[in-house]
């Protein structure tokens, strides 16, 4: 067995039963890299105060990442990770939806004030009253 296999095996044994590298940690690490780049930028621009603040934030963030990676409280870590994944998917889908609606020139979209449902109506109908299909509230709209 060569040295790399041995190190790999030892690492695998050490990480067994620990949380490791989940999606939340990946995201935290990406955030870490961005802040680190920002710190570097502040350093070159001689903004000492910002460098100090970012240093503190970076240190704290690394502690959180390491704590989560080596944590043995798997159920807690998985719940955190799941919350993050759900939130991230929601934001991603919302952005994709907004882009699609923006690209759609044949319809106008209105958000229902009472239930936040998005109602789609064809363009060019003048002033109309939309009845929300979800909650029945009326929306005055101009298309
Ligand atoms: Zn509604």
How many Å lie between the centroid of ligand 1 and the Cα of residue 141? 14
How many Å lie between the centroid of ligand 1 and the Cα of residue 84? 28
CA distances from 65 to 7, 21, 79, 112 (A): 22, 9, 15, 40
How many Å lie between the centroid of ligand 1 and the Cα of residue 79? 32
Walk along the chain (143 residues) in steps of 10 and give the mean pLDDT of each run.
Answer: 88 91 96 97 95 96 97 96 96 92 91 90 90 90 85
How many Å lie between the centroid of ligand 1 and the Cα of residue 129? 13
Tokens of 5: 């296999």
CA 45 to chain centre: 29
DSSP SS3 for 30: helix
pTM: 0.69
How many Å lie between the centroid of ligand 1 and the Cα of residue 89? 23
How many Å lie between the centroid of ligand 1 and the Cα of residue 132? 5
């Amino acid at each position: 067995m060569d040295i790399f296999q041995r190190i790999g095996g030892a690492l695998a044994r050490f990480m067994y039963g620990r949380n490791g590298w989940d999606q939340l940690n990946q995201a935290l690490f990406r955030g870490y890299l961005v802040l680190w780049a920002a710190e570097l930028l502040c350093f070159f621009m001689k903004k000492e105060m910002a460098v100090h603040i970012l240093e503190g934030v970076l240190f704290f963030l690394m502690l959180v990442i390491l704590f989560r990676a080596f944590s043995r409280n798997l159920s807690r870590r998985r719940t955190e990770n799941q919350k993050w994944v759900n939130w991230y998917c929601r934001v991603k889908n919302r952005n994709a939806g907004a882009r699609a609606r923006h690209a759609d020139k044949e319809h106008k979209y209105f958000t229902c004030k009472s239930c936040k449902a998005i109602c789609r109506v064809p363009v060019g109908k003048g002033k109309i009253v939309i009845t929300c299909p979800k909650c029945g509230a009326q929306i005055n709209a101009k298309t």
